[in-house]
Amino acid sequence: MTLAYPFEDVRTQIKSASLAEVMDRLGVRMNFAKDEEIYAQEEDADLIYRVVSGVVRTMRLLSDGRRQVGDFYQAGDLFGLEVGALHRYSAEALCDCAIQVVKRSSLRAQADEGELDRAIWEATCRDLERAQDHILLLGRKTACEKVASFLMDLAQQGPNEAIDLPMGRQDIADYLGLTIETVSRMLTQLQGSQVVEFASCRQFRVRRWDVLERLAA
Amino acid sequence: MTLAYPFEDVRTQIKSASLAEVMDRLGVRMNFAKDEEIYAQEEDADLIYRVVSGVVRTMRLLSDGRRQVGDFYQAGDLFGLEVGALHRYSAEALCDCAIQVVKRSSLRAQADEGELDRAIWEATCRDLERAQDHILLLGRKTACEKVASFLMDLAQQGPNEAIDLPMGRQDIADYLGLTIETVSRMLTQLQGSQVVEFASCRQFRVRRWDVLERLAA
DNA sequence: GAGCTGTCTTGATCTGGATCAAACCCAAGG
DNA sequence: CCTTGGGTTTGATCCAGATCAAGACAGCTC
């Protein structure tokens, strides 16, 4: 396997346009209903997925049902690129989703090799960077800092705009390693101190970006 | 100064034998004393590091000094392969270490491209897989499960052998998102229930592999 | 509208792990 | 030997966040 020189900033918004095109040509568009499983943990990982619309969550279960959400994937993101042969996390549609699916092998045969490798590399790197941030958050941040970090991450686009929260409280809790009740309390608290403002429980606006940043630690 | 002595584990040796050789030829061997910094957070990441002997930890600090250990790297492991241009974690020698260091660019010019890419890819994938396990551990496991998982991970080689714990309690705590006291209590508890046995505080043996596995959840 | 149903918030209480504070253990150095 | 000092263990107490238990607030359908 040939890889692009691993030195580029993966956060570049250039979302490999031509890979998307090839995926559209070779792949299948599938629709998943809210909470439908896209692939299971331990399942063979020979497909590549791209979110066309909607949001996807990856997650892992402990034997007794405790759940950890790995990450959320939005429109344009590649996911399901497991490192080994098997999926280590399962993936589910967070809301109704359209997903473009392609077999790795057929893609490899048809697409520009370099292009494909580069896209896979970038998606993997993005996953790793986010995983590293996630580790710091889970290991050493307080409930309030976790929630503040989470809101900041969602609101990357900048303050003042209305941001949609596509996921419910339970998903946020399982992403942050908290309970729904704690998430709810922290959100109420942040709203009470004028840092953010909720129009409804699924939409908010950052009022004090500086304070939010400080709280996220 | 420690002399080079080839005691890499078999797994890594097979994977990147010739890369190691090229790194030895082109790179510099550096020695680091216990707790010495190998690279800092936010520093430029244009070097590739391979542990020759000793153990390395990567870590990240929050502004108020809370610390999260990202991972530990043993002889044979590649590290410092950041995704972007800057190191997102810092790296320190856990004990006296010998590290082989090479400039990415010079390596690229000389080595077999495919070989290098493959080694970098595999090291990155290993990091990602371990990060994913780490996320589940930090987000949803109890103190006891965390410690049990940690011991199991160290003892991969199998039960019955004496395993060295190269890191102190503080490093374990900062890896598991706990305090030293809690780590110590859990170790005492595991020893009390005959699951593991400590010869000294830096060496143990697994007595009941099945129980340890169950406790790790 | 009135009833549902699922999600979210709020309140009261409990507890696992943190914090605070000794004591212990040993290796290194006088 | 006896110190000294870093790492570790142990004990007592505290508190952030979990758990348990109501409410409140939508969207629904009928």
Exposure of B178 in the CB half-sphere (CA atoms within 13 A): 24
Region B10-134: CATH code: 2.60.120.10
Q: What is the pLDDT of residues B9-40, one digit of tens each?
A: 334 444 445 677 888 888 899 999 999 999 99
Two domains, one topology: A17-137 and A141-215: no
Report residue B38 as tokens.
Answer: 């190998």
Spatial strand order of the sheet with A67-73 comes to A37-39, A90-93, A56-61, A67-73
What is the model's pLDDT at position B69? Answer: 98
DSSP, collapsed to helix, strand or coil, labels residue A93 as strand
Pick A131's closest partner by Cβ from B62, B108, B132.
B132
Both tokens assigned to A160: 């003042």
The pLDDT of residue B25 is: 84
Å separating the CA of residue B192 from the C1' of nucleotide D2: 34
Residue B127 CA to its chain's centroid (Å): 10
pLDDT band at residue A111 under the 50/70/90 scheme:
low
Residue A167: what pLDDT? 97
CATH assignment of B141-215, given 3.40.50.2300, 1.10.10.10, 2.40.37.10, 3.40.50.620?
1.10.10.10
Average pLDDT of chain B to the nearest whole number: 88
Say if CB B194 and CB B209 are below 8 A apart.
no
The top-level CATH class assigned to A17-137 is mainly beta
Q: Which residues of B touch A140 (CB under 8 A)?
A: 62, 66-68, 177
List the one residue out of B125, B150, B147, B151 whose CA is nearest residue B205: B151
Contact A11 B84 (CB under 8 A): yes
Q: How far is A58 from chain B (nearest CA, A)?
A: 11
Q: What is the pLDDT of residue A159?
A: 65
Among A62-76, B64-78, B147-161, which is the least confidently predicted range? B147-161
Using the Cβ of B61 and the Cβ atoms of chain A, whether some distance falls under 8 Å is answered with no
pLDDT band of A36, cuts 50, 70, 90: very high
Q: Where are the domains of chain B?
A: 10-134, 141-215
Q: Chain A residue with minimal CA distance to B85?
A: A7
* Average pLDDT of span A174-184: 98
For residue B57, give Cα distances in angstroms to A98, A209, B98, B129, B180. Answer: 41, 34, 13, 17, 17
**pLDDT tens readout for residues A12-32:** 444 445 677 888 888 899 999
pTM of the model: 0.91
